[in-house]
């Protein structure tokens, strides 16, 4: 399994997780009166999203163990 195949396979999962996280964070910040955009913490969210994506892709590639999908 290639990286692109894994991303295509898990796109809905990854996007729904990212979007729901952003939505919850936005509601939380709006409720507490904080600015919606906070560059330092938002950059951390971006890094976390990349790490989760890398983990999912790595797990897929390791699980396929070199098997080709048809």
pLDDT tens by residue, 10-39:
999 999 999 999 999 999 999 999 998 998
Give CA 36 to chain center in angstroms: 20
Q: Is residue 69 part of a domain?
A: no
Rounded to two decimals, the pTM is 0.75
**Coil/strand/helix, residue 61:** helix
**Coil/strand/helix, residue 7:** helix
Q: Is residue 49 part of a domain?
A: yes
Range of the domain at 15: 3-64
- Give me the chain's average pLDDT, please: 88
Q: Give the chain's domain count.
A: 1
Q: Is residue 30 part of a domain?
A: yes
CA–CA dist 14, 60 (Å, integer): 13
C-alpha pair distances (Å), 69 with each of 15, 31, 54: 23, 46, 20
CA–CA dist 13, 44 (Å, integer): 20
Query: What percentage of the chain exceeds 90 in pLDDT?
Result: 59
């Amino acid at each position: 399994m290639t990286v692109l195949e894994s991303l295509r396979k898990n796109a809905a999962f990854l996007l729904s997780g990212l979007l729901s996280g952003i939505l919850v964070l936005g509601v939380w910040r709006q409720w507490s009166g904080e600015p919606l955009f906070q560059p330092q913490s938002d950059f951390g969210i971006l890094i976390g999203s990349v790490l989760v994506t890398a983990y999912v892709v790595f797990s897929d590639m390791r699980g396929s163990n070199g098997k080709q999908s048809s």
